[in-house]
Amino acid sequence: MNDYEISEDTLAIIPMKNNMSKIIEKNNVLIVNLSPMDIINYSCLYFGSSYEGRHSATKHLLGISYKSPIVIEESRNMIFFPTKSPRLFNCYWISLKNISNYNENKNNSEIVFKNGFKLEIPISYGSLDNQILRATRLESILRNKK
């Protein structure tokens, strides 16, 4: 595939070599010929904004600019957060609303999604917890504005 638009079914976007991504959906796994950042950028534009605009809004609302969660589409509550700096190759993007639970797994973390799918990611439990809390704060602020 040469394009991909994030949807409510998207659970995670995982970087692969050669600027490709593995997309984990509720009932599907896809390989896309785009980097995770290209997919995030395209999806923001598809839903009427730019990544830069979404990033600026997060900075304004939360006061953070590093590893910021991003609202992909507000009315469907599609918020994704990065596991590392988005500038780094090995940055995963995770859907907040599809997470059921998460656990420590040695030096990594495991996310359990609402459909039962488990994904081990190379991030410490403390870092993952912090990213989920940031994304949850963003979600709460937006909900309270409605």
pLDDT of the residue at 17: 92
Largest pairwise CA distance in the chain: 41
d(CA 23, CA 49): 22
SS3 93: strand
Cα angle value 64/68/72 (rounded, 5°)? 130
pLDDT of the residue at 146: 73
Closest to 142 measured CA to CA, from 47, 76, 85, 83: 76
d(CA 72, CA 79): 6
pLDDT of the residue at 145: 79
What is the CATH number that goes with domain 10-145? 2.40.50
> Tens of pLDDT along the chain (146 residues)?
778 999 999 999 999 998 999 999 999 999 999 999 999 999 999 999 999 999 999 999 999 989 999 999 988 999 999 999 988 889 999 999 999 999 998 889 999 999 999 999 999 999 999 999 999 999 999 998 77
pLDDT of the residue at 65: 83
Which one-letter DSSP state was computed for residue 51? H
SS3 66: coil
Q: Where exactly are the structural domains of the chain?
A: 10-145
pLDDT of the residue at 102: 97
pLDDT of the residue at 120: 96
